[in-house]
Structure 1
Amino acid sequence: MTQLDSVAIVENFWREVWQQPQNPDAIDRLVHEEFVITSGGREIIGREPFKAWVNEFLAKVHGFQFHIVETFQNHDGSRVASRWRVTGRNNGLMGTQPNGVPFEMTGTAVWEVGPDGLLRHNWVERNAFEVHGAITREDALANVF
């Protein structure tokens, strides 16, 4: 049995889908048909709903930049952990009013990689509480306008 280079699989996903120029349609080739992302207390199931979620997220951040911090895998490549950082300006993220406030979001993604090399599940933890506070604070808004 050949061990997968799952770090390369996940980092390729980051580059193709989230880094400039973002291409959510790459999801069709990179994730399993029944892919699940668990993020922010909810599950999104299936490729098309996941692509819609990615497009919605990208639309809510002006100047979106995705940075890979580090990525590593378990012994057989079935699980990958990846730390990442997103920077941009608020355009309605997390249900807030678009105000152009700059922010930085950090997070960790744990991935399940199938034996076929397709991504099957992604569990995401991120500093949403801190980001929400930063993009809605009165003093942050005063510095933008």
Structure 2
Amino acid sequence: MNTRNSIEIVRNFWREVWQAPQNPHAIDLLVAEDMVISSAGIDITGRDAFKKWVIDFQSKMLDADFKAVEMFQSADGSRVVTRWRLTGRNNGILGTEPCGSPIEMIGTAIWAVRQDGLLQHNWVERNALEIYRELTPAKPAGEEQRGNL
């Protein structure tokens, strides 16, 4: 019978890294050296690259407030799914101009948890396109074409 509570392992990651006060350096203790995050159609491989990605992401959102909405794990504890909500203010997220506008990002994260409790892989889906559209003003029809003439 599995006694591993992988939900607590992931909950600890969220608490340490994403909830105030955010501490991306906790990644050094919580994820595997060869950790992979698959997000926005790309894989970021390695603990150091992942930590750099987190630090960069966090710098783009002011007053961030992270909440795990719901979590559950597979029967063997090897996977944990989290539905989450992150709110804050825009400081250049998704390549947009920093403007301080409110942001609400929602998503799902699936974590692979190793037997030793280290996080191995994270697959993330989030409402990035909707946020990008909210933060970038629509251009009048044909404006983007005029610049290319």
TM over 0.5: yes
Q: Is the 8 A contact 2:2 2:77 kept in 1?
A: no
Measured in 2, the distance between the counterparts of 1:133 and 1:9 equals 34
- 1 CA distance for matches of 2:121 and 2:11? 15
- Do the aligned partners of 2:71 and 2:83 also contact (CA within 8 Å) in 1? yes
Tell me the distance in 2 between the aligned counterparts of 1:124 and 1:2.
26
- What is the match of residue 73 of structure 1? 73
* Secondary structure, aligned partner of 2:100: coil
The CA deviation at 1:119 is 0.3
Structure 1 ranges of 4+ moved more than 6 A: none
What do the CA deviations read for 1:65-115 (whole angstroms, capped 9, x no partner)? Answer: 111101100101001100100101111100111111111000000010000
Q: Match for 1:94: what amino acid?
A: L
Identity level (%): 58
1:46 paired to 2:46: yes
C-alpha separation in 1, matches of 2:50 and 2:64: 18
What RMSD in Å do the two structures reach over aligned CA positions? Answer: 1.1
Aligned residue identity for 2:122? N
Contact 1:102 1:135 (8 Å CA) reproduced: no
Structure 1: runs of 5 or more not aligned: 139-145
CA distance in 2, matches of 1:100, 1:2: 46
For the 8 Å contact 2:107–2:124, the answer to whether it is kept is: yes
Q: Is residue 58 from structure 1 mapped to residue 65 from structure 2 by the alignment? A: no
Instruction: Supply the distance in 1 between the matched residues of 2:89 and 2:38 (Cα, whole angstroms).
Output: 24
Q: Which residue of 2 aligns with 1:125?
A: 125
The secondary structure found in structure 2 opposite 1:98 is coil
- Asked if 2 retains the 8 angstrom alpha-carbon contact of 1:28 and 1:47, the reply is yes
TM-score, normalised via structure 1 length: 0.92
2:85 aligned residue: 85
Amino acid at match of 1:5: N
Which AA in structure 2 matches 1:111? W
Q: State the alpha-carbon separation in 1 of the partners of residues 116 and 21 from structure 2.
A: 26
Deviations 1:99-139 (CA, angstroms, capped at 9, x unpaired): 1111100000001000001000000000111111112237x
Query: Do the aligned partners of 1:71 and 1:82 also contact (CA within 8 Å) in 2?
Result: yes
Letter of the 1:78 counterpart = S
TM-score of the superposed pair, with normalisation by structure 2: 0.89
What is the match of residue 114 of structure 1? Answer: 114
The answer (yes or no) to whether the contact 1:37–1:121 under 8 Å persists in 2 is: yes
> Take 1:131 and 1:97, find their aligned partners in 2: how far apart are those partners?
13
